[in-house]
Structure 1
Amino acid sequence: MSPRGVATPDVRERLFAAAERVVQRDGPGALTSRAVTTEAGCAKGLLHTHFAGLDEFVAELCLDRFARTAAKAQALPGLAGRGTVAGNVDDVALALFESGGPAISGLAMTRPAAALRVREALESGAPGFAAIQEAVTAYLEAEQELGRVARTLDAGTVALAVVGTAHHLLMTSWPGAPDPWPAMTRLVASLVDKT
């Protein structure tokens, strides 16, 4: 545990990772600022030093994970012509599940103030599902140009289906529920493996 007055490196990420572990292990109801700081092995007040409260912390955690996934998705068009189309799209969908997955998405919905902050940030342009959808669309269009995806494929609709399904699986899963990943993989394969 970091002693009082000693700087904690990468404090935001350390707290975010601790929160993910708490929620995945014990469920959203177990998330408290004390549970997070105990899991992170840091001073009890550290979370409130960096965030106005638990709702702001949860909102920032969700937004951080959305931004990470969106950044990965934005690199997708550069992968055109490499690997498999389904594998590349699958990797972006997997990033959604690995970025806190169902536990974190569900957590935001159980905290109305956090959900409102997330929605307002997304409406103001913070990267989220829309940015991921745009990147998947651009990637599929690039693969169409290379002839690796059928010209008849509606890239925007496929991207919407992939992102919408990921969103659905994230929002309707819970810790301990069956792994949503196999269903996502089957969907991606059925949508993009047709040339």
Structure 2
Amino acid sequence: MSPRGVAIPDLRERLFDAAERIVAREGAAALTSRAVTSEAGCAKGVLHTHFGGVDAFVAALVLDRFARTAAHAQGLPARAGQGTVAANLTGVALGLLDSLDPRVVGLAVTSNATSRQIRDALAEGSPGFGAIQDALTDYLDAELRLGRLPDGTDTATTALALVGTVHHLLMTGGWAGAPDPRAQTERLVALLVTQ
């Protein structure tokens, strides 16, 4: 346990990682401020001090994971011509699927305060699905110019279809009996880049 008043390096990431471990191990219902700080080895009040409460904490976690995926996607246009188009798109799509446990997403959408904070942050420019879609469109445009996609490929619609589908799979991936979202994503990418 870190002593009170002592700065904790990488506190946000430490708390986010702790929350993800709790959800993976015990489910979303176990995600409380006390559980997170205990798992992270921090003082009990640190989550409230830094985030103002669990709703804001979950919103920050979701936004952080979306921003990571957006940063990965934004590097994709520079890799045009490398690897295969399908492998590059699949990498970003699976990264988005893996960015959050579907049960964390469930927490975010079932809490009005959390979902409002996420919507507000995205509206103010925090990177999310729109940034990922824009990066994929830029990447597909670059691949089209290189002749690695069929002439006439609608790159913007292709990016929208991929991001929209992955968003849907991320939102519904925690349902019992749901098909494997990875396999579905790979099939979609194969379909999109061969049309």
- 1:7 shift after superposition: 2.2
Aligned position for 1:90: 90
2:185 aligned with 1:184: yes
**Distance in 2 (alpha carbons) for counterparts of 1:86 and 1:165:** 15
**Distance in 1 (alpha carbons) for counterparts of 2:164 and 2:131:** 13
**Distance in 2 (alpha carbons) for counterparts of 1:172 and 1:121:** 23
- 1:179 shift after superposition: 3.8
**Distance in 2 (alpha carbons) for counterparts of 1:63 and 1:14:** 16
Matches within 5 A, 1:1-195: 1-174=1-174, 179-192=180-193, 194=194
- 1:167 shift after superposition: 0.5
- 1:27 shift after superposition: 1.9
**Are 2:2 and 2:42, in contact at CA under 8 Å, matched by a contact in 1?**
yes
Residues 178 and 27 of structure 1: CA distance in aligned 2, closer, same or farther (over 3 Å):
farther
TM-score normalized with structure 1 length: 0.93
Percent identity, aligned pairs only, is: 62
**Are 2:73 and 2:92, in contact at CA under 8 Å, matched by a contact in 1?**
yes
**Are 1:140 and 1:155, in contact at CA under 8 Å, matched by a contact in 2?**
yes
**Are 1:77 and 1:138, in contact at CA under 8 Å, matched by a contact in 2?**
yes
- 1:157 shift after superposition: 0.9
- 1:191 shift after superposition: 0.9
Q: Aligned letter for 1:93?
A: A
Cα shift readout 1:100-151 (whole Å, capped 9, x = no counterpart):
2423222211211010000011111111101100111110110010011112
- 1:175 shift after superposition: 7.4
**Are 2:24 and 2:101, in contact at CA under 8 Å, matched by a contact in 1?**
no
Q: How many residues align?
A: 194
**Are 1:20 and 1:103, in contact at CA under 8 Å, matched by a contact in 2?**
no
- 1:89 shift after superposition: 0.7
Q: Aligned letter for 1:133?
A: Q
Residues 84 and 49 of structure 1: CA distance in aligned 2, closer, same or farther (over 3 Å):
same
**Are 1:93 and 1:184, in contact at CA under 8 Å, matched by a contact in 2?**
yes
Cα shift readout 1:22-79 (whole Å, capped 9, x = no counterpart):
1222222211111111221222111112111111111111111111111111111001
Quick check: 146-155 or 100-109, which moved more? 100-109
**Are 1:63 and 1:118, in contact at CA under 8 Å, matched by a contact in 2?**
yes
**Are 1:103 and 1:175, in contact at CA under 8 Å, matched by a contact in 2?**
no
**Are 2:59 and 2:114, in contact at CA under 8 Å, matched by a contact in 1?**
yes
Segments of 4+ moved more than 6 angstroms = none
5+ unaligned residues in a row in structure 1: which ranges?
none
**Are 1:59 and 1:118, in contact at CA under 8 Å, matched by a contact in 2?**
yes
**Are 1:70 and 1:131, in contact at CA under 8 Å, matched by a contact in 2?**
yes
**Per the alignment, in what secondary structure is the counterpart of residue 82 of structure 1?**
coil
Q: Aligned letter for 2:99?
A: S
